[in-house]
Amino acid sequence: MAEALEVKGKRVLVVGLGKSGVASAQFLHQRGARVTASDAKAEDDLRADIRTLLDLGVTVETGGHGERTFRQQDLIVVSPGVPTNVPQLAQAKAMGIPVIGEIELASRYLKGHIIAITGSNGKTTTTALAGDVIAWGGYESQVGGNIGTPAISMVAEATDDTYNVLEVSSFQLETIQTFRPEIAVVLNVTPDHLDRHGSFELYLAAKKRIFENQTSSDFAVLNSDDPQTSGMGKGVQSQVRWFSRKKEVEQGAFVRNGRILYRDDSGEHEVMPVSDISLKGAHNLENVLAAVCVGMIIPCEPHRIRAAVKEFKAVEHRLEFVATVNGVDYYNDSKATNVDATIKALESFPGRIHIILGGKDKGSPYTVLNNLLRERVKRVYTIGAAAAKIEKEIAGATDIVHAETLDFAVRHAFESAAAGEIVLLAPACASFDQFESYEHRGRVFKDLVNALAEKQKAVTS
């Protein structure tokens, strides 16, 4: 753990009042800081989030960021959803005011061990699974970060023996300084968040920062099959463990004859048969291999890792089975917020798919979906702000229905899909044009599907 920050009596500004921002403001107030919180959203949009802060006596600024507010601080803590290049932050940095993110703040206080997991896709599932593996292994663990519970909220429960398993995003890694995970995992890197980072190179650079403070006593876990992560091993100071579903690796986890094995300096260890994995899709085999590496490094007994994986169920909004209605299976993959995640979702089913695409565009091309759309998809239903762009780039690949809303898309798919087919929400876009979050979008989808299921049950009973 890096040296804790001394914040008592200091003026600290928290920028962005999402879940992690509110938690940071509460934490800093409890430690005696003079806290101000600032968000560009209007007060009415934040009322539920800021009520607790106002009750504590925290100064709250809404509807924009005042330049004077930023200048009068000893420390600024920025939430991951706030771009680091906003003028007020740039000016504060130029004045020598320290600017850090919530994940950096948490790491200064978090007792125990830090395991950090990132990647364009699969990081939530892998983080949850790694937490289960560690717990089944007999160790104290807690899971948080970008997965839901802010890292700063984990400080209260952490002890010197706790394994803190954190999902970390590129946005969070942009603002680290001393953040040092004992085990750092990069699952894959494909184009995502280009609207925020500006280029794939800058996005990739943000992901690589997960290793920057590691030493030779730490571990880097990397996907040997991914073209971007396979080159990262050369530049790290830590010990590298690879995982691959396509080939054997010298140090790490791999598949041979339908079984997962792990190899390190102590030899080769059989962990489990691939058939014990209940999660759908080749990408989830990669997620399991990464979690196996984490478990074996700690170390956990192979039979305990096998039990954890065997009992693990899909995380909500990640290829989550919702219901079967009239013989049609409905799957919620609302977390497929980029094109590569949608490719992985499509690859998880052999065909006869009705897919819902669209939302807020993130700057990646949709043309790369066309081969899979031709091979496996009967119909695409487009929704949201990116609908016109998607329709233009996938024209001719399969049938397209301009649905506009998720409600219309689900109803139209219900009317069109036949028994034995799949209806899949895997939007390839962010959710913020029509929904509060991908979780909100996924819950709405599930509510719509379950309403159809109840209606059909009433008809047939």
What is the Cα–Cα distance from 12 to 23, expressed in whole angstroms?
A: 14
Catalytic hit among 29, 193, 283, 378: 193
Catalytic hit among 19, 65, 113, 146: 146
Q: Look at phi and psi of residue 189 and say left if phi exceeds 0, alpha if psi is from -120 to 50, else beta.
A: beta
pLDDT of residue 457: 82
pLDDT of residue 287: 96
In the annotation, is 450 catalytic? no
Where do the domains of the chain lie, and which CATH numbers do they carry?
11-97 (3.40.50.720), 104-311 (3.40.1190.10), 320-460 (3.90.190.20)
Residue 39, token pair as written in the block: 């968000």
Averages of pLDDT over each 10 residues, the chain, 461 residues: 85 93 95 94 78 88 85 93 85 93 97 96 94 98 92 97 97 95 96 68 93 98 95 94 97 98 97 94 94 98 98 89 95 95 93 97 94 97 97 98 97 96 97 93 97 86 61
Strand partners, 114: 164
Cα four-point dihedral sign 267, 271, 275, 278: negative
Q: CA neighbours within 13 Å on the CB side: how many for 195?
A: 11
Catalytic hit among 113, 123, 197, 283: 123
| Cα distances (angstroms) measured from residue 11 to each of 52, 56, 73, 103, 325 | 19, 16, 5, 19, 56
Residue 160, token pair as written in the block: 């010197």
pLDDT single digits (tens) 156-179: 999 999 999 999 999 999 999 999
In the annotation, is 123 catalytic? yes
Q: At what angle do helices 302-311 and 123-136 cross, to 10 degrees?
A: 130
pLDDT of residue 298: 98
Cα four-point dihedral sign 380, 382, 388, 390: negative
Q: At what angle do helices 339-347 and 282-297 cross, to 10 degrees?
A: 100
What is the Cα–Cα distance from 438 to 10, expressed in whole angstroms?
A: 36
What's the angle, vertex CA 127, arms to CA 124 and CA 129, rounded to 5?
Answer: 105
In the annotation, is 338 catalytic? no
